[in-house]
């Protein structure tokens, strides 16, 4: 602190402060205000104010010690301290002595956070209780640290002893409440944020942070569709039967780990999570497929199975995949089709006219010649207006107008 003092007046003040801090507080009242300026006034022989009574013995010892410090610093004994009644100058000198005790008010009056970590308090009635920034010269360490001596700091005119260790950086974070990316320029001193203002942010960085937020939420913020989930399952199936091919891993786990590789380009122009509802996850997943595989996936594992009298949607989330349609759509189909050039077993769900399962089988030929007889008897009783032939596998039901041709898409 004394080395920081530059002018004779500042050195005289530093001598008084050093002597004061080595001695017990000359204002002995338990409710004496914490402002160190009142002690400096008492040292100078002035009224400390606020009805405080000074300890004469303590003041005498402080003045003798201050005189010794002045001699060591080459300050004339007659030199008046600079700013003895100006809270700014004592605070600037004290900050050099206690840079870890810069205190910033938080919340209610009298509650402060220290730059070195932790907190300290003042009585709500203390004149400094509403100060925004203090430097604490003396702390009473009990269950809760109480500030005994302090001076106010001007946050816009901080001394060099504090500006050196300060850091300033732009911090961009995702705000889960608003679903947006916020960028703020923050000036920090230890654990304190001395200034905080919004800052423009590069759109590319916004996309990266939003992608991180999506990954942290396990991709739940994306507008997943049934088609997208089916594509994931289809690609996973091809990875299983063609391990040496270049089929990408499109599972949620892999997508989360590689989110920065694929998601940010789709987030250009998007500033909040709610805007992601216009994204197309299926198209995004297809974009991960090499061009030659993007064409093969639909040929090897079609989304629909063409039947003699209609078509059946294939559900690849089932194991094995399941194709479901009304029973009449399967009339004329003798055996169970296989996918991916015969490498993928397929199950068939034959539905009643009401859409309820009649049977689920991977052996259509065996079903026609076996359990179909009982199913036919039950269905004829329930739905007499529908056709229930004895040998559906050899009955070529007429194809309805507009129905797709036979085969597998």
Residue 121 counted as domain residue: yes
Residues 6+ apart with CB under 8 A from 154: 88, 91, 133
81 and 33 belong to one structural domain:
yes
Does residue 209 lie in a domain region? Answer: no
210 inside domain: no
Residue spans of the chain under pLDDT 50 = 84-88, 397-409
Asked whether residue 126 falls in the same domain as residue 144, the answer is: yes
Query: What is the tens place of the pLDDT at every residue in 215-243?
Result: 999 999 999 999 999 999 999 999 999 99
For residues 293, 295, 296, 298, the Cα torsion angle rounded to the nearest 10 degrees is 130
> In the prediction, which pLDDT does 395 show?
64
Angstrom distances, CA of residue 72 to CA of 2, 4, 14, 40, 243: 10, 15, 12, 20, 83
Domain boundary among 242, 276, 299: 299
Alpha helices, DSSP H, located in 44-119 = 56-72, 88-97
Three-class SS state of 86: coil
Q: Are 252 and 218 in contact (CB under 8 A)?
A: yes
**151 found inside a domain:** yes
Q: Is 185 exposed, middle or buried (0-12, 13-18, 19+ CB in 10 A)?
A: middle
Q: Are residues 142 and 12 in the same domain?
A: yes
Residues 355 and 245 in one domain: no
Contacts of 329 (CB under 8 A, 6+ apart): 307, 308, 309, 310, 311, 312, 397
> Whole-angstrom Cα distance, residue 409 to residue 401?
18
For the stretch 19-45, pLDDT in tens is: 999 999 998 887 889 999 999 989 988
Which residues lie below 8 Å from residue 97, measured CB to CB, with a gap of 6+? 1, 17, 21, 137
Instruction: Quote the domain boundaries for residue 194.
Output: 167-204
Residue in this structure with the two tokens 């990266």, named with its chain if needed: 208
Query: Does residue 233 share a domain with residue 196?
Result: no
Tell whether 141 and 32 lie within a shared domain. yes
- CA–CA distances in Å: residue 289 to residues 231, 247, 286, 300: 11, 7, 5, 14
Q: Is 219 within a domain? A: no
Residues 133 and 234 in one domain: no
Which residues have C-beta within 8 Å of that of residue 207, sequence separation ≥ 6?
A: 263, 264, 265, 267, 268, 270
User: Which of these, 307, 305, 306, lies nearest to 315 by C-alpha position?
Assistant: 305
For residues 153 and 26, membership in a common domain is answered with yes
Of the residues 139, 160, 181, the one at which a domain ends:
160
12 and 56 within one domain: yes
128 plus 270 within the same structural domain? no
220 found inside a domain: no
β-bridge mates for residue 134, sequence order: 103, 152
Task: For residue 403, give Cα distances in angstroms to 307, 326, 407.
Answer: 9, 14, 12
Residue 47 pLDDT: 67
Helices (H), 263-331: 281-286, 291-300
Residues 199 and 338 in one domain: no
Classify residue 355: in a domain, yes or no: yes
Final residue in a domain of this structure, among 247, 268, 299: 299
In a domain, 214, yes or no: no
- CA geometry: angle 152, 158, 163, nearest 5 deg: 135
- Count, residues in the chain: 409
Q: How many domains, in total, are found in the chain?
A: 4
pTM over 0.85: no
Q: How far is CA 301 from CA 272, 286, 293, 335, 340, in A?
A: 36, 14, 12, 18, 6
pLDDT of residue 159: 87
Longest CA span, the chain: 124
Q: Do residues 277 and 322 both lie within one domain?
A: no
- Whether the bond into 320 is cis, omega within 30 of 0: yes
């Amino acid at each position: 602190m004394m080395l920081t003092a530059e002018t004779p007046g500042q050195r005289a003040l530093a001598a008084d402060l050093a002597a004061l801090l080595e001695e017990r507080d000359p204002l002995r009242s338990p409710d004496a205000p914490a402002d160190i300026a009142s002690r400096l006034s008492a040292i100078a022989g002035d009224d400390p104010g606020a009805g405080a009574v000074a300890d004469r013995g303590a003041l005498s010892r402080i003045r003798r010690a201050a005189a010794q410090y002045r001699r060591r610093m080459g300050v004339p004994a007659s030199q008046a301290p600079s700013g003895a009644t100006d809270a700014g100058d004592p605070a600037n000198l004290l900050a050099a002595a206690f840079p870890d005790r810069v205190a910033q008010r938080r919340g209610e009056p009298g509650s402060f956070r220290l730059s070195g970590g932790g907190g300290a308090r003042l009585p709500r009635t203390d004149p400094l209780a509403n100060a925004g920034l203090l430097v604490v010269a003396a702390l009473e360490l009990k269950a809760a640290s109480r500030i005994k001596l302090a001076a106010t700091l001007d946050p816009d005119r901080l001394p060099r002893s504090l500006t050196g260790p300060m850091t300033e950086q732009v911090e961009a974070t995702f705000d889960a409440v608003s679903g947006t990316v916020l960028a703020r320029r923050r000036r920090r001193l230890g654990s304190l944020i001395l200034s905080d203002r919004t800052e423009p942010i590069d759109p590319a960085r916004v996309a990266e942070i939003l992608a991180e937020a999506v990954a942290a939420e396990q991709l739940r913020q994306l507008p997943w569709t049934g088609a997208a989930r089916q594509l994931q399952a289809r690609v996973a199936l091809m990875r299983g039967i063609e391990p040496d091919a270049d089929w990408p891993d499109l599972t949620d786990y892999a997508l989360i780990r590689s989110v920065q590789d694929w998601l940010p380009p789709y987030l250009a122009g998007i500033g909040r999570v709610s805007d992601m509802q216009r994204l197309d996850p299926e198209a995004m997943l297809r974009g991960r497929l090499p061009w030659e595989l993007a064409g093969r996936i639909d040929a090897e594992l079609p989304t629909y199975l063409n039947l003699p009298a209609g078509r059946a949607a294939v559900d690849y989330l089932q194991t094995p995949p399941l194709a479901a349609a009304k029973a009449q759509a399967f009339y004329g189909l003798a055996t169970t089709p296989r996918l991916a050039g015969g490498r993928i077993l397929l199950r068939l769900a034959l539905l009643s006219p009401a859409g309820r399962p009649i049977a689920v089988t991977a052996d259509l030929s065996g079903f026609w010649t076996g359990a179909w007889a009982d199913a036919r008897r039950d269905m004829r009783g329930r739905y007499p207006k529908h056709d229930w032939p004895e040998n559906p596998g050899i009955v070529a039901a007429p194809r309805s107008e507009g129905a797709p041709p036979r085969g597998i898409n």
